[in-house]
Structure 1
């Protein structure tokens, strides 16, 4: 769908790139010419992803374990990327924590776990790499959010709150950094059954059934797949989107148009 060199010359950092949507984005970036560095808290997951990447694209990516909540880890990530590839020109903030928990049962620890990974992690990683982008007057930052987080996310209040805040950060950063040549956008994926979704979101019979039932509410009549999201990521991080910033692009098969869709299954 894209020219095979559309991302040639780009240095891309993708958090949570060892599996799921993060891996799909990394794979397509590598295939389209980018020098990609993926992160995960699990070294084993990264090793498996690197091996899979070579098998699927014929090209290697770099990787480094990183907990995006930890300032020292993020600094090590920055230093690794700079020494290996030079300044990052693309950052994809995909690392996230999520799990089902009713609001009345939610503890402060549960809230902090998700906020610290999703929101603070996005801030930490972006803040580490954006100074060089501002200096060089080029760069693209892509955040992963939710469709219409302001409508709430029943069963996942911590995630909904974090993603709504990231939407706000996306707009603020786009406004402040646009004059310096740095674009900031977000993708809001709809229902895409990945291994992370299966492990953490489809944790009960009720949420699993709701997810499956969502297909009937999607105008395009199917659930998404990781390639649907990675194609949007390629577009937004490439020169093709050179005059697009501050957007939260909903990629959900049109589900957001259906006001009768099952609440929270976005």
Structure 2
């Protein structure tokens, strides 16, 4: 069942959502279901061509158009252009989903500073740059939601992906700090930690080159007996960004079918 059938078409009516990394995978699924639930949506990604394809597909699937802005979240000037576009078109954002990420397997002893910088720059600094650009207007308006995409238990270690684990652990800390500082000013901040979801990016970068078929090897480690889908993550995103979650902030919601119970990230390493 797709998320938009679980929520009403007005669940996010009146909201303006910016979704980084919105052209594919989990970001695309969130954009799709936000549109289906009534939000105005702007997607951002480094690839203008990929954004154009995503925009056309979203319009075809939801019957609604969205905005798109090519943007590298590591570039503060580019993030400011994203903010300016949203402000000019919608008057500002009420929801920001920090989904843009970079990742690739590298043994820790061979990880270069450049490799570390690419992932931490995209995941951690990108989350910081985008949030810093949009949150002042939210605080002034007295309402808004920041939603970050993280990992289950990155503090427990993420072998082969030290750069990603370090970035995601830092984002969880930022999530809690921002929630504490901004809660009384009307801005909620939460995170979603997806488990094994067979997106193209994860298949290419995290499964020893085995492709999507590699996910089948870890299904036996999932208590609910199946892999996740982008729609599973989108459902959690709609909930956390809706008024139904109005008393939830500072949380890192693990959406993993129970993989956490089997040792956190361990099944992804097998």
After TM superposition, the score normalised by the length of structure 2 is 0.95
RMSD: 1.6
- The answer to whether 1:94 aligns with 2:99 is yes
Aligned partner of 1:188 among 168, 193, 196: 193
Partner of residue 163, structure 2: 158
| Among candidates 207, 221, 235, match of residue 225 of structure 2 | 221
Aligned residues of 2:203 and 2:214 also touching (Cα < 8 A): no
Contact 2:93 2:138 in 1 (8 A): yes
Q: Which residue of 2 aligns with 1:126?
A: 131
Mark the runs of 5 or more structure 2 residues left unpaired by the alignment: 1-5
Q: Deviations over 1:126-183 (max 9, x none)?
A: 0000001101110000000000111111111100000000000000000000010100
Q: Following TM superposition, by how much is the alpha carbon of 1:213 offset from its aligned partner in structure 2, in angstroms?
A: 2.2
Counterpart position of 1:136 = 141
* Alpha-carbon distance in 1 for matches of 2:138, 2:220: 43
Does residue 11 of structure 1 match 2:16? yes
- The structure-2 alpha-carbon separation of the partners of 1:91 and 1:29, relative to structure 1 and needing over 3 Å to count, comes to same
CA contact (8 A) 1:174 1:245 kept: yes
| Residue aligning to 2:240 | 236
Return the offset for 1:199: 2.2
| SS of equivalent residue, structure 1 residue 186 | strand
The structural deviation recorded for 1:69 is 0.4
**What SS class does the counterpart of residue 155 from structure 1 fall into?**
coil
Distance 1:131 1:65 in 2: 22
- Give, in whole Å, the separation in 1 of the partners of 2:265 and 2:131: 33
Equivalent residues of 1:90, 1:140 under 8 A apart = yes
Structure 2: distance between partners of 1:6 and 1:208:
33
Count the aligned residue pairs: 265
Give the distance between the partners of 1:133 and 1:263, measured in 2 at CA: 39
Mapping 1:1-266, distance limit 5 Å: 1-205=6-210, 211-259=215-263, 262=266, 264-265=268-269
In structure 2, how many angstroms separate the alpha carbons of the residues matched to 1:35 and 1:253? 30
| d(CA) in 1 for partners of 2:114, 2:265 | 30
